[in-house]
Structures are given as C-alpha cells and as structure tokens.
Amino acid sequence: MFIQGTIKKKFKSDPELNNQLCKQIDHYLELDKCHRSIANYDNVRGIFFQVPGSKPLTLQAIEGEIKYKVQSSLDMAYGVLHQRNIKLALTKLNDTRN
C-alpha cells in the first residue's frame, strides 16, 4: 500500500513514534484481513480490544456489519435450499404421475 509506506517513512525520524505507528498499521492490516473473513469474527473483536482508544461504537459497528453479512448469507442459503426442495418435490410429483 502506497499510503502505508508514505506514513511509515514520515515517522522514521522518531523511532518510538515509528514503532507505535507500525504496530497500529499492522493491527489495522490484520483487521482488514479478518474483516474479509467472517470465520475470523473473534479475531476482529480481539484486535479492537487491543487497540488503545478504539471506541466501543466502532466495535459495535463492525459487529453489526459482520452479523448482517452472516444473516445475509444464511438468507441466501435458505433461499437456495427452498428452491432445491421445490424442484425435488416437483420431480417426485412427476415421477409418481409417470
């Protein structure tokens, strides 16, 4: 990421600040990876609890988004199963008529 590299270069003159910045960037990059994978939901929460100053509202927003994605996925899966069951029922009905 270009922005990440630029920010890291900017704070190289202050090693302590640079170290803190690198840790924060690493946390958010890891958050980005976890956020893309619903299976790592607990990791996302853990990262927010480790980052000093992260607001509970931000954590709630991420939780809401993940829950929405899970619910949306479940709804789609239910729809597919429902369509499959209808097709299976129609196939069985046609088989009994023949």
pLDDT tens for residues 1-31? Answer: 444 555 555 555 667 766 776 776 776 667 6
At residue 15, the pLDDT reads 72
Sequence ranges of the domains in the chain: 2-97
Does 57 or 10 have the greater pLDDT score? 57
- What is the H or E stretch that residue 59 is in? helix 56-97
pLDDT over 70, % of the chain:
37
Stretch 34-57: mean pLDDT? 65
Mean pLDDT of the chain: 67
**C-alpha to C-alpha distance for 43 and 7, rounded to whole angstroms:** 25
Percent pLDDT > 90 in the chain is 0
Q: How many helices (H) and strands (E) does the chain have?
A: 4, 0
Give 36: exposed, middle or buried? Use CB within 10 Å, 0-12, 13-18, 19+.
exposed
Ramachandran quadrant class, 51 (left: phi over 0; alpha: psi -120 to 50; beta: rest): beta
Distances (CA, A) of 82 to 51, 77, 85, 91: 43, 9, 5, 14
